[in-house]
Structure 1
């Protein structure tokens, strides 16, 4: 690095360079065209928010941590920490972040600690191994794509504000079932939703916070199991768990891109703070010539003991695939003959008899090799 290092220490003897940390007790500043590289932890208990140069975090052997009582704000940042940069206090950036190596990790159980993108700042270099694992915020007047993920999975969310008024939005991505979230004090029942909805994803969700109206663009990949949710991308919806109504509501689909393996979906405008979390769901319509009866009670009484698909005899080239709520395949049969009675064919570990427990499951029906129908059904005993 050919840049000169210019650091103004207003209170020189209140800056401590310990063996394990750079500890700021007073006033510190990186001047214009200056740069400093941190190879140890940073503790900021003073003023370190009027920086004009580059702050780099570098360590090829272990992690680094930024902590302290005050938020440092940098103009430019470089992150090259092989075992990740942990934030115990918020860090702001006003111009640019370069994700070179490792994750920036914020605590998911503390919404007061974020990576803050200020003044329409930007970033580059993000991928599955380089992003923000936890919460980030943006304050600015432009559309913004959050470089967020969960562990080594980049899953961006974009906000497209209705009114460009320098609103602050906050978001994090969770690769987990919303029915059993890890850091929320409540669960978000994916069986409780508006009548026009059919399936809510149990694979993932995002937390998006903000008081102003915005559209949200969500992403998916192969682990999102979109093929379970919909027979067509047009049937997908952004859905949110309403704080007031305590159920999943349809937030719309004004555009989709991609295919079942990877793509994006954009919602209609909504106010994020009216919803606990958001994810991807669907509204599914049957083919018309084929009818699936979506509840079975396999108790041997002769009523609803089998999953019946009416009219399927006209389509002998078919395949039925069944999944549990976690996306695990529990049954598959070509040329389905209405014979499924709630017993797995050994594709999932249930119990010694492979009897599937009571609950919601999902079907994908392929006709002539295409995903013609998909939806939920319920097993009751």
Structure 2
């Protein structure tokens, strides 16, 4: 008897929603309305929420050809949420979904200049149906997720970002911007693509993402023809993920652990980084790709005449984060220096069996191994030391 009464109440409620929607330009919720399990409610009008609306178990859908919006002073929490509104559903207040989102037609739109308005998928809520025609055009937030693909994009295209964190994020939030970082209309700050780490050649000027997370994370981005990757490089292996650092105010290298595709379409994954340290994330290219970079063999004559007195490796200026090791012909380590800047003058700095340290190393052939950590390169070569 009780379930039958609830069912009848649900039908009455659906009827009233349809009646009110046709009688005014918005449905205004100011009381204790609740959508029960099994109920399917369709809104063809705007929804204004000014009271708690967070104990729902049914489906709410926004439908029709009109531009719709959700607004009010209290954030609503839907259970199942469906969008089939040709011109989209704009959010003017944070809106949560606790079970599932079904994207059919039209975007869920949030103002990209206001980071505190978003659609939140909470409590392991899932989504289906995302496409170029239906997605989140703005900020999407998730809770208690470690790996997640954000269904974000702009009005024309779905451009997801895949997050893979070292541990579970209490919250993580993402948006995509088809905007020039040099003049983004969604931000008061500019992200100048000429301000880069020394080893960067170019930064994408067509698009970027923003990811908010305090957990070390790798991200996977994609590109297509609209991304104009050909303006960065002709070789996709020279690409890497870059981020606009909040402290240094420049584009920094976030790495390249995986890349596939061609200049028309492809995907790339970063190294681990903390997203909250960066305002924006996009794709850049290396100044000196590895297949064009060669570190030569060297000749040294440390006699004080000012020529070849110290070992100078010019390429290390591209990677201040480096490590140099020098070995004698027997494989004995005779010199080691992190962040090398021309310190080797033929004298060992390693406590081992080197004889007559003050006189310097004996003449002969030595081997060097240098790691350029900023670029992910390692080189080996010969060094001839004359006396």
User: Are 1:65 and 2:69 an aligned pair?
Assistant: yes
- CA shift, 1:68, in A, is 0.5
The equivalent position to 2:37 in structure 1, one of 26, 32, 39, is: 32
What displacement does 1:6 show?
Answer: 2.5
Structure 2 gaps, min length 5: 1-6, 295-387
2:230 match: secondary structure: helix
8 Å CA contact 1:8–1:29 kept in 2: the answer is no
1:252 aligns with 2:222: no
Distance 1:82 1:179, change over 3 A: same
Contact 1:8 1:28 in 2 (8 A): no
Q: 1:99 aligns with which of 95, 99, 103?
A: 103
Equivalence for 2:178: 175
Question: Which residue pairs with 1:298 in the alignment?
Answer: none
1:40-51 superposed matches below 5 A: 40-51=45-56
**Structure 2 residue aligned with 1:276, among 279, 286, 293?**
279
Residue of structure 2 in register with 1:23 after alignment: 28
Mapped partners of 2:164, 2:11: distance in 1: 38
How many residue pairs are counted as aligned between the two chains? 282
> What secondary structure is seen at the aligned counterpart in 1 of 2:189?
coil
Aligned to 1:87: 91
Q: Distance in 2 between matches of 1:163 and 1:142?
A: 6
Determine if contact 2:98/2:123 at 8 Å carries over to the other structure: yes
Mapped contact 1:215–1:268 kept (Cα < 8 A)? yes
Q: 2:119 aligns with which of 102, 108, 115?
A: 115
SS at match of 2:100: strand
Which is helix-richer, 1 or 2?
2
Q: Is the 8 A contact 1:160 1:216 kept in 2?
A: yes
Change (3 A) 1:100 1:74: same
Counting only pairs closer than 5 Å after superposition, residues 236-247 of structure 1 correspond to structure 2 as 236-247=239-250
Give deviations 1:162-213, integer Å, cap 9, x for gaps: 112x421111111111011102111111111111211111111111112222
TM-score by length of 2: 0.69
Q: 1:340 is matched with which residue?
A: none
Pairwise CA distance, 1:79: 0.3
TM-score, normalising length: structure 1? 0.70
Output the aligned Cα RMSD.
2.4
Task: Work out whether residues 163 and 218 of structure 2, in 8 Å CA contact, stay in contact via their aligned partners in 1.
Answer: yes
- 1:56-75 CA-to-partner distances (Å, cap 9, x unmatched) read 11112x11110001111111
Q: Distance in 1 between matches of 2:9 and 2:102?
A: 19
Q: Post-superposition shift, 1:233? A: 2.3
1:162 is paired with a residue whose SS is: strand
Match of 2:160 among 156, 159, 176: 156
Q: Deviations over 1:340-374 (max 9, x none)?
A: xxxxxxxxxxxxxxxxxxxxxxxxxxxxxxxxxxx
Query: Secondary structure of 1:167's partner?
Result: strand
Q: Secondary structure at the match of 1:43?
A: strand
Paired residues of 1:175 and 1:204 also in contact (CA < 8 A): yes
Q: Which has the larger radius of gyration?
A: 2
Separation of aligned partners in 2, 1:172 and 1:90: 14
Q: Distance in 1 between matches of 2:81 and 2:261?
A: 32
Report the counterpart of residue 356 of structure 2 in structure 1: none
- The superposition leaves residues 257-284 of structure 1 with CA deviations (integer Å, 9 ceiling, x where unpaired) of 3322222111111111111111100114
